[in-house]
Structure 1
Amino acid sequence: MATTSSIAGYWDAAAGRFDEEADHGLRDVRVRAAWGRRLREWLPPAPSRVLDLGCGTGSLMLLLAEQGHRPVGVDLSPRMIAHARAKLAGAGIGTGGEALVGDAGDPPVGLRRFDVVLARHLLWTLPDPRAALRRWADLLRPGGRLVLVEGRWNMPADGAGYVAGAEAMPWMGGVGAAVLTGALRELVTELRVEPLTDPMLWGREIDDERYAVIATI
């Protein structure tokens, strides 16, 4: 099984170039606007307390803060979190966002509870994604929302190119909507699946499965 330190090291190494992907850095104003619209559709009115798990360099955190929400980001990679903190500070967000180094599968947030738990392209990286879903549901206030942006991407399901032991990770290569909604049924009161085929979200045309699950606890 992949180790926490090896996974953190992988994403530390990727941090410097992470924002070069259109949907990671949101540097293209059209891509940024597309994600901003989706967040407004998926989230309750601001200000809401949003836990952004696997926050990476903080691009979605920045959007959330600009929309008036109060995001807390968690990422296993210290270098990703350093970029996120710099991004928030550079935009003058300051206390409008908090970025923490920690395991997104079991976030280091103590007894705090949130209106929204948001995760984008994270579940495939977790050794026990079903346990993480249970933990995330527990972190929501009654009536809170899980917003999970997921899919099955054109990447090797055997973990090639990732970290040693990745082939044993349950959802390596991504998770289809049917599997994810099945895992959520006992945790939520209602859910819907929204296909994310708009190329503007990704900065290019796609030919793999991408979707969002919006679920209420």
Structure 2
Amino acid sequence: MDATELIRDTYDKVAPTYDRDENDSVLVRRLHWFLYERLTWNAVAAVLPEGRNLRILDAGGGSGTFAALFAERGHHVTVLDLSPGMLEQARARFGERGLLARGAFEVGSILSLPFADGAFDLVFCEGDPVSYCTSQYREAIAELCRVAAPGAYVVLGVDNRAAFFVGALRSANKAEAMSILLTGRGTCPYGLPTHAFTIRELEEAVDAAGADVVEIFGKPVLLGEMLEAFEAAHGPGVDLWEAREELLALQERLVHEGYASMGGHLQVMARRR
């Protein structure tokens, strides 16, 4: 089984239960995904034009979490994913919200996008799709930039090498930590191989693909440490979930103030030349 088939089959299996429950009993995990998704969306929403409906590609769009947000704003979204099972979830999400007229759903790979040059007004690729391309991530980024119209935003979410390195150190796996530091190779929570990026790698790959980096930020940044500091400042009885909007505001400050390398993931905001 090649890497593409492994990724497809893994996500087909988890598709029915993939969407995260906002009532997750593990508070830190629930806060992490709340902050991750809001930080991602807020940065993109800030660059969406008023009064103009865009052609948007959500590449590796999975169950359509972000695609539905674009569609709710009136944009037409093509959701592309390797996994037919995940696309079924995305289609169901659009159907439940009355958005099917604003969506298209295609099985495909970001390494070979079945679209013309400049076909989209915004290209969005969040999570691990680019990281799953390991040794071919440059080709994936080039493809994503190719299908963006001149001047269009290309938004990429990828694994952060610094976070993978520190995570391995904290788990006392020093040999794995050194390998990650030198090669960037790690694994996602499903055990699939990924490439974790340095900021310079991203800048070079985006530039070579014909786009200019506007910003690279981390998400979330120093979450565990921030929660400890927040509790110390407010007392042990503070309800962190009730304070999530305040925590989001703190994260919004941190992620855009030079702490990108401390984020769990990196988000690239770039524009096609």
TM-score by length of 2: 0.64
Q: CA deviation at 1:208?
A: 4.4
Moved more, 86-95 or 43-52: 43-52
Instruction: Measure the CA separation in 2 of the matches of 1:38 and 1:158.
Output: 27
CA contact (8 A) 1:47 1:70 kept: yes
CA contact (8 A) 2:214 2:269 kept: yes
Q: Which of structure 1's runs of 4+ aligned residues deviate more than 4 A?
A: 28-36, 153-156, 198-201
* Structure 1: gaps of 5 or more residues: 167-171
> 2:93 corresponds to which residue?
87
> 2:172 corresponds to which residue?
none
Structure 2 counterpart SS, 1:88: helix
Instruction: Measure the CA separation in 1 of the matches of 2:83 and 2:95.
Output: 18
CA contact (8 A) 1:123 1:174 kept: no
The one of 107, 127, 131 equivalent to 1:124 is: 131
Provide, for residues 125-172 of structure 1, a one-character-per-residue CA deviation record: whole Å limited to 9, x for no partner.
125110111112111111111111223254774448535xx3xxxxx2
Q: CA deviation at 1:190?
A: 4.7
The one of 49, 54, 59 equivalent to 2:60 is: 54
Moved more, 151-160 or 104-113: 151-160
Provide, for residues 86-124 of structure 1, a one-character-per-residue CA deviation record: whole Å limited to 9, x for no partner.
110111002111111111222223567001110112211
Q: State percent identity of aligned pairs.
A: 22
> 2:265 corresponds to which residue?
210
The residue type paired with residue 195 of structure 1 is: G
Query: Number of paired residues?
Result: 205
The 3 A distance-change label for structure 1 pair 196 and 208 is: closer
CA contact (8 A) 1:151 1:177 kept: no
Q: CA deviation at 1:42?
A: 3.5
Q: CA deviation at 1:37?
A: 2.9
> 2:9 corresponds to which residue?
9
Instruction: Measure the CA separation in 2 of the matches of 1:149 and 1:189.
Output: 16
> 1:195 corresponds to which residue?
218
The 3 A distance-change label for structure 1 pair 190 and 33 is: closer
Moved more, 173-182 or 131-140: 173-182
Question: Aligned-pair RMSD on alpha carbons?
Answer: 3.3
Instruction: Measure the CA separation in 1 of the matches of 2:8 and 2:213.
Output: 34
CA contact (8 A) 1:42 1:147 kept: no
> 1:139 corresponds to which residue?
147
* Structure 2: gaps of 5 or more residues: 23-29, 168-175, 177-184, 224-243, 252-261
| Structure with greater helix share of residues | 2
> 2:48 corresponds to which residue?
43
